[in-house]
Amino acid sequence: MMDKTEMAKKERRIYLSEVRRMAGKRFAATAVVLAALAFLVVSCRSRPEPPAQSPADPYAAARARMVEEIKGYSSPPIRDEKVLKAMGKVDRHLFVEESMRARAYENVPLPIGQGQTISQPYIVGLMTQAAALKGGEKVFEVGTGSGYQAAVLGEIAGQVYTIEILEPLARKAESLLKNLGYENVHVRVGDGFLGWPEQSPFDAILITCSVPKFPVPLVEQLKEGGRIIAPVGENMQALKVGTKKDGKIETKDLGPVLFVPMTGPGVEGEKK
């Protein structure tokens, strides 16, 4: 039999062996944890960066300056916040030729092809304001051009019907307006002098080409109390607003302007 000293030594050896074994387990567990943490750090570092946000609208500042400029006119002023908001939203640079985009937000008319022009922003705002739209109305426009005026109207009115006699311009404007999401703007190729009878009566009618006088078919398609806005005259033109009362038109002069003349069989017959 072992004496007490030998038994104590044996128990000590067993104890030390167990301590080493437990330490080995703790070390292994710690190593596993450290390895896992290292994997997470590497994974986080190697994770792809999120896609960069789209760059800011490069034309936003120019568009804001344009709105401030037209607000500065006093004869007559443009104060309708709905009109100013619409013009601050519509991308005019998309409605001019690419070679003219650098000048898109200048307060000047610009060529759009086919011998036609896009009106200066102030005139677009003035004509839109003259229509006295509250929101939700049905509006008819003669002379779609590039579609800019129709887009501004589409930001306020419920439905916009616009007609252009030059088919290449009409198709281009129709495609652009559709791509921009203006589902409430409808484009047709035709003689604007005759209007769009099946969609009448209209709350407002805007004519973006000069006429000798308000065309009779358009006056007939104007709702009672509605407004018709047009540059009237040949050599000397004035922007006029007509309000329909008891079937007759009461007019107001907004000042001198210069627009390309209306073309087509309807107006030509009127001149004879």
Residue 198 is classified by DSSP as G
d(CA 230, CA 254): 10
d(CA 142, CA 218): 10
Q: How far is CA 155 from the centre of its chain?
A: 8
d(CA 160, CA 256): 26
Residue 45 backbone phi and psi in degrees, to 5: -70, -35
Q: Please check whether residue 232 is in contact with residue 211, taking contact to mean a CB–CB distance below 8 angstroms.
A: yes
Residue 201 is classified by DSSP as -
Q: Where are the alpha helices (DSSP H) in the chain?
A: 4-46, 60-71, 81-89, 121-130, 148-154, 167-179, 216-220, 265-271
Which amino acid, 88? G
Strand, coil or helix: what is 113?
A: strand
75 annotated active-site: no
Q: Please check whether residue 205 is in contact with residue 222, taking contact to mean a CB–CB distance below 8 angstroms.
A: yes
Choose, from 46, 119, 200, 210, the residue flagged as catalytic: 119
DSSP for 128-154 reads: HHHTT--SS-EEEEE--TTSHHHHHHH
d(CA 133, CA 219): 18
Pick from 213, 250, 249: nearest CA to 230 = 213
**Catalytic residue list:** 119
